[in-house]
Amino acid sequence: MELDLTLSPLALPGVQQQRPLVIAGPCSAETEEQVMETARQLATNGIKIFRAGVWKPRTKPGGFEGKGVEALAWMQRVKAETGMLLTTEVATPEHVEAALTAGIDVLWIGARTSANPFSVQAIADALRGVDVPVLVKNPVNPDIELWTGALMRINSAGITRLGAIHRGFSSVDQKIYRNSPMWHIPIELKRRFPMLPLITDPSHIGGRRDLIAPLAQQAMDLGMDGLIIESHCNPDCAWSDAKQQLLPEVLDFILDRLVVRDNVEVTESITQLRKQIDELDNNLMDLLTKRMRISREIAEYKKLHNMSVVQTTRYSEILDKRATQGSLCGMSPQFIRDIYEHIHEESVRQQLEVMKTPATAPSANA
Ligand code: PEP
Ligand code: MN
């Protein structure tokens, strides 16, 4: 499964491909004054790509659903006065047409839309034959296949200037973040498509101003290619996402202090450390193989004594004991529980295989 990204990275006219690529602007275009004031301040601070939501997906009807086509004229004024490139969210073929007619330079597909293959396909069809960069946000649910599928649909329409935006995932246990980052998902996307620019959206992950700086730094530490950050000239009075928007000067302060890591060079000492990791992984594999072998021997015993495969008290005891051991070793107990749930699942699968075969007498040394 490949993406055809012949022009990648995004190749945006007038924007040097330095890392990180920064896109900034308000969650929503509210009034002409708010759009212009925010844009002027961001442009003064060196921002080159301006974002603003013109059509807003709202969870319930009756909220502020964006100014629509009227706001596109304000965006055009931003470009004329500041020279910044423009980007907005499109969710339907009509949005695509209106945005392209207004000269929007980069389109993005929102998280709710990415989750719906019918909508993504309708957008892809509207984009056929058009050369415009498109950024695809991750779907609201943590499903990398759905995200990849959305990217492929857009790519199949001939869009080669393609990028992905990681904005986090809805989750039942929202503790710190508005949308759980689940970094392993964007990391896996990067592994699958190393040429695909991957941009982090700390605003929608964090949902809170004070989380933007640490999340942006984490994105850099993980080698992400850019950031899209919500910024508003008067954040507290914003009509949407007020808690997560930053004053342009605060954004500037944060970007100034961002440590951008080099993700290209591999040093000698890291090669040595990686060799040690490879060896440890081999050891883990050996241990797991042995553990499964013993588990199959136990299955022979259970079969002989007509016992059922799953003994829930034993299983609970393993989960609890290992989680405690893990936390004493500095690991998250949940991580250890998750690992043991997987090991147990494989163990049960192998024991069921043994149960299917005719019983054999236990060997002398079993
Ligand atoms: C937005 O960028 O303002 C937005 C609505 O984002 P998401 O699709 O990630 O919720
Ligand atoms: Mn928003």
Angle subtended by helix axes 333-356 and 268-304, to nearest 10: 40
- CB 90 less than 6 A from any atom of ligand 1: no
Exposed (0-12), middle (13-18) or buried (19+): which is 365, by Cβ within 10 Å?
exposed
**Paired tokens of 201:** 């959206």
Of 204, 202, 208, the closest CA to residue 224 belongs to 202
Element (H, E) at 268: helix 268-304
- Which of residues 130 and 275 earns the better pLDDT score? 130
The residues, any chain, with a CB within 8 Å of residue 144's CB and separated by 6 or more, are: 185, 188, 189
Least confident of 18-22, 34-38, 167-171, 256-260: 18-22
**Ligand 2 centroid to 8 CA: how many Å?**
26
Ligand located closest to 240 CA: 2
- The pTM score is 0.80
**Tens-digit pLDDT profile for residues 256-285:** 999 998 766 566 678 888 888 998 998 899
Mutation pick for ligand 1 pocket among 116, 120, 137 (CB with most ligand atoms within 8 Å): 137
Looking at residues 290-313, what average pLDDT do you find? 92
Atom 2 in ligand 1: residue holding the nearest Cα: 27
51 vs 171, which has greater pLDDT?
Answer: 51
pLDDT for position 311: 82
pLDDT at res. 62:
84
**Residue ID of nearest Cα to ligand 1 atom 9:** 111
Please check the confidence at residue 361 and state whether its pLDDT lies above 70.
no
| Residue-level pLDDT at 158 | 94
Please state, rounded to an integer, the average pLDDT across all residues of the chain: 92
| Pair type for strands 21-25 and 106-109 | unpaired
Backbone angles phi, psi at 107, to 5 degrees: -105, 145
Considering every ligand atom shown, identify the ligand nearest to the alpha carbon of residue 137 and give its number. Answer: 1
| pLDDT of amino acid 342 | 96
Confidence band of 323 (pLDDT split at 50, 70, 90): very high
Going 49 to 54 to 59 to 64, the CA torsion angle's sign is positive
Give, in degrees to the nearest 5, the angle at Cα 238 between 232 and 244: 65
Confidence of residue 359 (pLDDT cuts 50, 70, 90): low
Residue 54: strand, helix, or coil? coil
Contact 350/292 with Cβ under 8 angstroms?
A: yes
CA 61 vs. chain centroid, Å, equals: 27
The per-residue pLDDT for 364 is 47
Ligand at minimal distance from the CA of 89 is: 1
Distance, CA of 277 to CA of 281 (rounded, Å): 6
Distances (CA, A) of 181 to 15, 23, 171, 206: 28, 19, 10, 8
In the predicted model, is pLDDT for residue 124 greater than 70? yes
Distance of alpha carbon 31 from its chain centroid, rounded? 31
Q: Is 202 within 8 Å of 219 (Cβ atoms)? A: yes
- Whether 110 is in the pocket of ligand 1, judged by its Cβ within 6 Å, is yes
pLDDT-derived band at 8, boundaries 50, 70, 90: low
pLDDT tier at 79 (50, 70, 90 boundaries)?
Answer: very high
229: its two tokens: 């950050």
- Closest ligand 1 atom number to CA of residue 114: 8
Instruction: Please give the number of the atom of ligand 1 that sits closest to the Cα of 51.
Output: 2
Best of 204, 228, 232, 241 for a ligand 1 pocket test (most atoms within 8 Å of beta carbon): 204
pLDDT band of residue 366 (cuts 50, 70, 90) is: very low
Please, are residues 123 and 96 in contact by the beta-carbon 8 Å criterion?
A: yes
> Going by CA atoms, what residue is nearest to atom 10 of ligand 1?
111
Q: Which of 237, 350, 346 is nearest to 299 (CA)?
A: 350
pLDDT of residue 18: 67
The pLDDT > 70 percentage for the chain reads 93
Q: Which residues have C-beta under 5 Å from ligand 2, the single-atom ion?
A: 27, 241
Token pair belonging to 80: 């004329």
What's the CA gap between 216 and 161, in Å, rounded? 23
Residue 302 CA to ligand 1 center (angstroms) comes to 54
Residue 263 CB neighbours (<10 A): 14
Lowest mean pLDDT of 132-141, 189-198, 209-218, name the range: 189-198
Residue with token string 């503790």: 175
Number of alpha carbons in the 13 Å side-chain half-sphere of residue 92: 8
Could you tell me the pLDDT band of residue 172, with boundaries at 50, 70 and 90? Answer: confident
Q: Which residues pair with 106 in a beta bridge?
A: 87
Q: Is 323 in the pocket of ligand 1 (CB under 6 A)?
A: no
CA distances from 255 to 47, 164, 363 (A): 10, 21, 67
What's residue 279's pLDDT? 86
Q: Is the CB of 167 under 6 A from ligand 1?
A: yes
Q: Which residues contact 284 (CB under 8 A, 6 or more apart)?
A: none
d(CA 364, CA 366): 6
Ligand 1 atom closest to Cα of 203?
Answer: 2
H or E element that contains 286: helix 268-304
Cα of 100 vs centre of ligand 2, distance in Å, is 21
Q: What is the 205 CA–ligand 2 centroid distance (Å)?
A: 10
> In the predicted model, is pLDDT for residue 16 greater than 70?
no
53 lines ligand 1 (CB under 6 A): yes
